Chain A
Amino acid sequence: MKKRKERKMDFEVNFDSLMDILTCVIGIMLFVVVFTVIQVRGVNVKMFTPLLREPPKGTTRKLFICSKKEIKFLDMDTAVSKLLKGIEHVSFYNVPSFVKKANRKNIHDFYFQYKLDYKTYSSWSFQRREIYIIITPFENIKGETLKDIKKDSSRFKRLIESLDPKKNWISFLVDEESIRLFKEARKLALQRGFKVGWDPLIIPFPHKECIVGCGGRSGRGIGGGIL
């Protein structure tokens, strides 16, 4: 009688490789969890306690608009002084001709155009005219982004380097989307030695603001203090 040969299993299932893979996967998971917990703990921000103060006397405000993640220099004070040149000789009756003449000067800077307008108030006892400045951004001129201002060649950096921190202070008007941009720009300005302030940007553009004959502001305005 022939012996039936036992059929032997030629192969064995070795789980060592699977064990290595699983151990590796667990290691990666642990690393991800640890990294995530560290991230979730939060970012520590050291913040100087801000306090609103009047700007130093004798200094000029330089205003920057941080809007839609772009920063633009709004040289309103220079534009106003150019537009209102000769205003001291202007009476109620020649306001319209003065405004027309000022607008012909075509005052503008790189980002904005500046024009004048006027409004007449009259009643049986008095007549008054107010002069307004209208600030219109150039549609096709983009401001600088967060990435742009970090470069040495950025317009913002070159501008603040050309200004004297003892004679100027910087004010930012910031909208909801541009907080990070504002903080970077502020950091650069502070490094240069400027006093800096900020306010939320709540004025729409084109912007119209009374500059002559308004009887002063009611309440504290925006962009007027350092922090």
Chain B
Amino acid sequence: MAKVRLSEERMVSLFPMFNILTCLLGSLIFILGGIIIISLGVGRSVVIAPIQSTGKKPIYLEWNGKEIVIHPQKNIVPLSINIEKFQSLKNFYADLDRQFNNTAFGKLLKRINRKKQYFVVIVRPSGFKNFIFFRNYILDHKKIDVGYEPIEQNYTLRIRQ
């Protein structure tokens, strides 16, 4: 009678399954990395680490032509600048006073200590056209010292204080 012998070489190898799992793990890591990147925001970010070079403490603002962003709280205050509507600077400044009334920036203007604090405005390219008027409002009308620095439009801004 012929004996049927099971071939000893026909064993179930788990190596291919191990490899597939490793590949799956790699893909998951890649997807996770992509999700992290998207959640952190598109575009490069700039972390400003200020080096104190004046005797006053800076309060950082961001200006993009339509809004003021007060850092680090990131309070957004909308502002419309239409200097052509006004026949005099006095009326223009009065309009800005009215716009800032009861806003976070208006409150900041009231409580700022002019001897110890001043504004540093980070200016986006979209804010270039009307920034001079905003600057002059702070400097000439409100008598608060100001400094300013440009930053690229698509950079995310974080200020380390």
Q: Which residues of A contact B (CB under 8 A)?
A: 3, 15-16, 18-19, 22-23, 25-26, 29-30, 32-33, 36-37, 39-52, 174-177, 179-180, 182, 198-202, 218-220, 222, 227
Contacts and interface: CB of A to CB of B under 8 A. Distances in A.
21 contacts: A3-B2, A18-B19, A23-B22, A25-B23, A26-B22, A26-B25, A33-B29, A42-B44, A43-B44, A43-B46, A44-B47, A44-B49, A45-B48, A46-B49, A47-B149, A50-B148, A176-B125, A200-B131, A219-B89, A219-B140, A227-B147
A42 B139 contact: no
Contact of B36 (A32, A40, A50): A40
Contacts of A18: 16, 19
Interface class of chain A by DSSP: mixed
A222 B150 contact: no
Interface in B7-53: 13, 15-16, 18-19, 22-23, 25-27, 29-30, 32-33, 36-37, 40, 44-53
Given A15-B15, A22-B23, A179 B151 contact: yes
A179 B123 CA distance: 11
Contact of B51 (A43, A46, A222): A46
Contacts of B139: 52, 220
A16 B18 CA distance: 11
A177 B153 CA distance: 10
A41 B156 CA distance: 11
B107 interface: no
Given A15-B15, A45-B49, A220-B140, A176 B145 contact: no
A182 B15 CA distance: 59
A3 B147 CA distance: 99
Given A26-B29, A202-B132, 7 more contacts: A26-B22, A26-B23, A30-B29, A48-B50, A49-B52, A49-B54, A218-B89
Nearest to B131: A200
Interface in B88-133: 89, 118, 120, 123, 125-126, 128-129, 131-132
Contacts of A174: 128, 150
B158 interface: yes
Contacts of B40: 40
B41 to A, nearest CB: 8
A180 B140 CA distance: 29
B132 A36 contact: no
A39 B46 CA distance: 11
A26 B49 contact: no
B52 A227 contact: no
B19 A15 contact: yes
A23 B49 CA distance: 40
Contacts of B15: 15-16, 19
B74 interface: no
Contacts of A44: 47, 49
A180 B129 CA distance: 18
A79 to B, nearest CB: 23
Nearest to B23: A22
A42 B51 contact: no
Closest 6 CB pairs of A and B: A50-B147, A33-B33, A176-B125, A42-B45, A26-B26, A200-B128
Contacts of A200: 123, 128-129, 131-132, 150
